[in-house]
A = this chain, B = another copy of it.
Amino acid sequence: MKELILNNGAYYTRDGRCRFSLWAPDFKSVELKLCLPEGSRYIDMDEKDEKGYWRATLDKISPDTTYMFSLDNGREIPDPASHYQPDGAHGASQVICHEDFQWEDGSFSGIEISEMIIYELHVGTFTPAGTFEAVIGRLDDLSDLGVNAIELMPVAQFPGSRNWGYDGVYPYGVQNSYGGPAGLKNLINECHKKGIAVILDVVYNHLGPEGNYLWGLGNYFTSRYKTPWGNAINFDGPLSDQARLFFMENALYWLDRYHIDALRLDAVHAIFDFGARPFLQELSEAADNYSKQKRKKHYLIAESDLNDSRVIRPPSLGGYGCDAQWSDDYHHGLHTLLTGEASGYYLDFGKIAHLVKTLKEGYAYTGNHSKFRKRRHGNYAGDRPKGQFIVFSQNHDQTGNRMMGERLSALVSFEAIKLAAAAVVLSPYIPMLFMGEEYAEDAPFQYFVSFSDEALINGVRKGRKAQFKGFQQKGTPPDPQDEGTFLRSKLDWEKRAHGNHKILLEFYKALIKIRKETPAISSVNSVNMEVEGHEKIKILAIKRWLDDDPNGVLCIFNFNKDTVQASVSLTGSDVWGKVFDSADSIWGGPGAASSEAIAHGERFTIAGLSMSVYKGG
């Protein structure tokens, strides 16, 4: 294929030639400053081209050369499209020779999204060391668990060394404290060698509040729309073509230079674009083109708060063409049944019916009135394949956006955690785990930052306190800037070997094994499904079967605390035999209280807060 040439940043080739580019239409002159061992050297850049790009091409420079741009207002700034910031967000940028990396993943052909079992992790808190290298040391544990895709929370360079990643300010940079570009490539290379796909979380709706050197260079941002995190990126105003290209090429850069398999697009509802060619649509077309050239499918996964099936419809149907989206409705439906919480957006959930509708129609809110939003919300997605939705009982947001960052294991009983695990892993959608949930990590995942600007730090502290005033629970949120908050959020790998932690880990492995070995569960896009919910006794039954095997598999979930009796209307086999029971004593449960077999229309028993799998035929 044609090599992907980037319009922004330093484009280095192995022969020692490097082209530096900066889109800064608002300036009249820009110099390139090379930070050489013998001292700084300033180089005039070529006359700004008609689109506003400044360029300079140099021969015979070393691939670890650091540089900055010197603007005509006297400021010297790092390259906003820097591939590496060895000294952090405020230091000089470093040239990277991507050709130098020895990839060994040629035989890895990717994982079909519909077959993924995703594991979301935050590099800084996943291990004690908090580096890419340390993640590699744990890949066998993940493989052993059954995971075949890891999703990295954003690794774009942010200020300091502690951040979830959504305050990133170098969309092309790889966090220095995690191990930089080489560290990330090593990790991806090792993943691929082990048959694990890598999904990267990228943020195209805003830049972080500190270290944003794009600010003031050109129309990268707009005041026309507001995001919760400040000025929106300019996707549809004057000079938006160049701002779009900066992010469009960023997506392709990760696929191309880092062999990333899929991108998770953060908060696409904050990508404001009223233009005739929405950015998401162009991005999905570009990613598809790239996939075709590479003969390997790369995926776009949207985080969307819109419940708008346009996001995942193909462009031929007027959609934006993303391959999948996160299903918050599934999470909220599950979480409220387990916790009984009803504040904030949980106000809109709490009934079995919400899960039933999400299973049947893609969203629980498909145009019906939302109390939380004070308006109707969503549209129909019932015709979308199940493989377009990713479900989870926990993720970084649903955990970390709580005042104390409690994981589900701190909120509900062990039986309830297993029920949640089964509802995700055996769901008709794509399951995603949040790091540590597989062994009921009881450390919290709290909100942490490491800014250097005192005013900003205090603002974040105040904002965090204000956010929870009179909400959810009393008390004071942990200090985001305190290193202890970060350290407290780290996984403790020792726990996995003991007690309920160990039992849960085995339980997850068993669930994933069932999923993989049961085509009626794992064939998400071609499977038939019946869903039945009993509101009063909080029972949910999901039956799935393949065209050539009408007996299929029946999963029954009891969200009631007590053992209940129920019946379900089932087609298929006369008698269904139990093959799995979360209440079983081997899973630390009270014993297998649920019926060993279920007959069509007859009453059966199911243990409180448990989940059983039945097979017919």
Query: A237 in the interface, Cβ–Cβ < 8 Å?
Result: yes
Of A236, A237, A276, most B-chain CB atoms within 10 Å: A276
Considering only CB atoms, which chain B residue lies closest to A223 in the complex?
A: B226
Q: Nearest B residue to A219 by beta-carbon distance?
A: B374
> Which residues of chain B come closer than 8 Å to A309, judged between CB atoms?
276
Q: Is the interface of A mostly helix, strand, loop or mixed?
A: loop
The contact of A310 among B226, B236, B237, B318, by CB within 8 Å, is B318
Chain B neighbourhood of A373, CB < 8 A: 238
Residues of B within 8 A of A274 (CB): 269, 272, 306
Query: Contact: A308 with B276, CB < 8 Å?
Result: yes
A492 vs chain B, min Cβ distance (A): 42
Tell me, yes or no, whether A74 is within 8 Å of chain B by CB. no
Answer yes or no: A239 CB below 8 A from chain B CBs: yes
Which of chain B's residues have a CB closer than 8 A to the CB of A313?
318
Which single member of B240, B272, B374 contacts A239 (CB below 8 Å)?
Answer: B374
- Partner-binding segment picked from A376-384, A434-442, A561-569: A376-384
Residues 290-312 of chain A, each 1 if its beta carbon lies under 8 Å from chain B, else 0: 00000000000000001111100
CA distance A241 to B367 in the complex (A): 11
Chain B, Cβ-Cβ closest to A377: B276
Q: Mark A237-255, 1 if CB is under 8 A from B, else 0.
A: 1111100000000000000
The reply to whether B276 and A306 contact each other, CB–CB distance below 8 Å, is: yes
CB distance from A372 to the nearest CB of B (A): 9
Asked if A319 is at the interface of the complex by the 8 Å CB criterion, the answer is yes
From known contacts A237-B375, A238-B375, A240-B375, infer whether A277 and B367 are also in contact, taking CB-CB under 8 Å: yes
Taking CB atoms, residues of chain B closer than 8 Å to A272 are 274
Residue of B whose beta carbon sits closest to that of A315: B318
Contacts of A462 in B (CB 8 A): none
User: Which residues of chain B have C-beta atoms less than 8 A from A308's C-beta?
Assistant: 275-276
When the two chains form their complex, are residues A276 and B307 in contact, meaning their CB atoms are under 8 A apart? Answer: yes
The verdict on A317 contacting chain B, using a C-beta distance below 8 Å, is yes
Q: Which of B239, B240, B317, B369 contacts A318 (CB 8 A)?
A: B317
For chain A, the bracket of interface size reads 20 to 34
A266 smallest CB distance to B (angstroms): 16
Query: A224 in the interface, Cβ–Cβ < 8 Å?
Result: yes
A229 to chain B minimum Cβ distance, whole angstroms, is 15
**Which A207-247 residues sit within 8 Å CB-CB of chain B?**
224-226, 236-241
Q: Is the CB of A276 within 8 A of B241?
A: no
Within the complex, the shortest CB–CB distance from A540 to chain B, in Å, comes to 26
| Assembly CA distance A460 to B418 (angstroms) | 67
Which B residues touch A238, using CB under 8 A?
373-375
Residues of B within 8 A of A237 (CB): 375
CA distance A213 to B272 in the complex (A): 30
Q: Which residue of B lies closest to A310 (CB)?
A: B318
**In whole angstroms, what is the CA distance A374 to B236 when docked?**
10
In the bound complex, do residue A379 and residue B277 qualify as a contact, i.e. CB atoms below 8 Å apart? yes
Could you tell me if B240 and A276 are in contact, using CB atoms closer than 8 angstroms?
no
Bound CA–CA A121/B376 (angstroms): 38
Listed A/B pairs (24) with beta-carbon separation below 8 Å: A224-B226, A237-B375, A238-B374, A238-B375, A239-B374, A239-B375, A240-B375, A241-B369, A241-B375, A241-B376, A272-B274, A274-B306, A275-B306, A275-B377, A276-B306, A276-B308, A276-B310, A276-B367, A276-B377, A276-B379, A277-B367, A277-B379, A318-B318, A318-B319
Contacts of A240 in B (CB 8 A): 375
Which residues of A90-122 are within 8 A (CB) of B?
none
Residues in B with CB closer than 8 Å to A224 are 225-226
The distance from the CB of A528 to the nearest CB of chain B, in whole angstroms, is 25
Which residues of chain B have C-beta atoms less than 8 A from A375's C-beta?
236-241, 275
B residues near A236, Cβ cutoff 8 Å: 375
The A366-404 residues at the B interface (CB cut-off 8 A) are: 367, 369, 373-379
Q: A271's closest neighbor in chain B, by CB?
A: B274
